[in-house]
Amino acid sequence: MNKKYIMALDAGTTSCRAILFDKEGNIVRISQKEFTQYYPHSAWVEHDAMEIWGTMMGVMREVIETSLISPEDISCIGITNQRETTVVWNKETGKPIYNAIVWQCRRTADYCEELEKEGYSEVVKSKTGLKIDAYFSATKIKWILENVEGARELADEGKLLFGTIDTWLIWNLTRGKSHVTDYTNASRTMIFNINDLTWDKDLIEKFDIPESMLPEAKASSTIFGHTDEKMLAGARIPISGCAGDQQASMFGQACFDIGDVKNTYGTGCFVMMNTGNKPIYSNYGLLTTIAWGIDNEVEYALEGSIFIGGSLIQWLRDELKMIDTSEDSEYYSNKVKDNNGVYIVPAFTGLGAPYWDMYARGTIVGLTRGAKKEHIIRAALEAIAYQSKDVMMSMKDDSNIDINKLKVDGGASNNGFLMQFQSDLLGIDVYKSKLSESTALGAAFLAGLGIGMYKDKEEIKSICSYDKIYTPSSENDKFDEYYNTWKNAVKRSLDWAK
């Protein structure tokens, strides 16, 4: 094959990136540009979908021009994206009728509470694997149809299209020829039945969304369309991979076996477990979602989100002024032999799984006269590991699957103290990938698989190598005691704001 490169398009929440990979997963060139965040009212978050499209085109062209390759050298394109963010546009003009409503936006929270009171929680969970929440796309679509002048009429006339950001980009890259999404993004809309892989007629009727607006849902590794010839100097490049950001990260980490778990240590933490070809529903409020679809097979995952991860280190730096850089946290944590009984519960915005207490608030407990800033900094890093264990133990209980290793990525995975403590706390090996950009890499792998550049997942697994493997120490009893004390600390934070 003469075409040597795969281009991954990573449409994040604050920026667009285009990354050129070779077949071995090495980065050849990367270009990134931020776009505008809009906050029209309290708890409302929006993006300009046209700006996202323009920004993505800009970084695509920059990558090609600065790497001195021809678009003809690009074998395929893979897309990964911020999930749940909702775009509604007029298919005749190609223009959005309203700003994209971002996954963080809470404007439909009251309507979600109404649905819960009406008893729809179990219906939504059994069909979509999700909790009723303003986070997901369905109530955002409904809001646009009910609040944007003329939207309902246009929708009833079949003139409006809906898509998450992947759908919006593919539609533009193909000049309107492909209105598609993949199973992972569809599974985050709250109207997609993850059991039969179709838009659920009962739910779209409940949300009063015309079926004509919805994209075709396809496997994550397949041909979604081709770039229009006028787009990239005459090249007609297949778009052959697509997945939401967390699923793409999981694929990029080669979590292909049942029980494989990855944790992305970012601003928050996103933990996902591969549960195989059957969805497993959680008793702890974890989400059941589609991991990916390849060929005629779909694999599922359990997902747990930790609200405060790396942002806890930013808090130490920016608000408490205890450290100058995030990297300093590792240095200070290693200056003391333990946390001296200090525990931080970072419930700044409440606690998620397995506690689900919106009234919990952040606490620091166990302070004595001998407590130093090093102990507080160490307690902050330990708190990230404790929260991750909380979610993983919930996954283990829900699935009855043993977790024998953890694969990690994200900025805080570069913190050696945190990763070693995580390994000690869990009693398992922690694998830090040598290949950076696992989210974009997952999209690239899916795209390469979709055109036969890779034979199968085993070939992809053979490419993945690890920068470092953290192995647990033998002092298991000590870490069990630490974890039990953490659970007691959590009890002190619950219901505080009530």
Give yes or no: residues 476 and 331 share one domain.
yes
Give yes or no: residues 320 and 228 share one domain.
no
* 15 labelled ligand-binding: yes
Mean per-residue pLDDT of the chain: 93
Give yes or no: residues 489 and 415 share one domain.
yes
CATH number at residue 413: 3.30.420.40
pLDDT greater than 80 at residue 476: no
Query: Domain span at residue 203?
Result: 5-236
* 387 labelled ligand-binding: no
Between CA 12 and CA 63 the distance in angstroms is: 17
Residue range 39-59, pLDDT digits in tens:
998 888 999 999 999 999 999
* 135 labelled ligand-binding: yes
Give yes or no: residues 429 and 469 share one domain.
yes
Between CA 365 and CA 496 the distance in angstroms is: 14
Kindly state the percentage of the chain with pLDDT values over 70. 99
Q: Answer whether residue 241 is part of any domain.
A: no
pLDDT greater than 60 at residue 1: no
At 356 the pLDDT is 84
Q: Answer whether residue 94 is part of any domain.
A: yes
* 17 labelled ligand-binding: yes
* 181 labelled ligand-binding: no
Report the 10 Å Cβ neighbour count for 366. Answer: 18
Q: Answer whether residue 244 is part of any domain.
A: no
Kindly state the percentage of the chain with pLDDT values over 90. 81
Rounded average pLDDT over 379-398: 96
Of 236, 270, 288, the domain-final residue: 236
- Structural domains in the chain (count): 2
Rounded average pLDDT over 73-93: 95
pTM of the model: 0.90
Give yes or no: residues 298 and 231 share one domain.
no
Give yes or no: residues 212 and 261 share one domain.
no
* 411 labelled ligand-binding: yes
pLDDT greater than 90 at residue 464: no
Torsion of CA 216, 222, 228, 229, to 10 degrees: -160
At 357 the pLDDT is 85
Give yes or no: residues 27 and 127 share one domain.
yes
Of 176, 204, 236, the domain-final residue: 236
Residue range 206-233, pLDDT digits in tens:
999 999 999 999 999 999 999 998 888 7
* Lowest mean pLDDT segment, chosen from 2-6, 15-19, 81-85, 374-378: 2-6
Give yes or no: residues 203 and 275 share one domain.
no
The string over 93-109, giving b where at least 16 C-beta atoms fall within 10 Å of a residue's C-beta and e elsewhere, is eeebbbbbbbbbbebbe
- Contacts by 117-124 with C-beta closer than 8 Å and gap 24+? 120/206, 123/202, 123/203, 124/190, 124/203
Give yes or no: residues 231 and 262 share one domain.
no
* 240 labelled ligand-binding: no
Give yes or no: residues 384 and 324 share one domain.
yes
Q: Answer whether residue 90 is part of any domain.
A: yes
User: Residue 468's beta-bridge partner residues?
Assistant: 432
Q: Answer whether residue 247 is part of any domain.
A: no
* 438 labelled ligand-binding: no
* 319 labelled ligand-binding: no
Give yes or no: residues 187 and 101 share one domain.
yes
Residue range 261-313, pLDDT digits in tens:
999 998 889 999 999 999 999 999 899 999 999 988 899 999 998 888 888 99
Residue range 393-423, pLDDT digits in tens:
999 999 999 998 999 998 889 999 999 999 9
* 83 labelled ligand-binding: yes
Of 168, 203, 236, the domain-final residue: 236
Q: Answer whether residue 52 is part of any domain.
A: yes
Give yes or no: residues 191 and 307 share one domain.
no
Q: Answer whether residue 402 is part of any domain.
A: yes
* 128 labelled ligand-binding: no
Q: Answer whether residue 242 is part of any domain.
A: no
pLDDT greater than 80 at residue 498: no
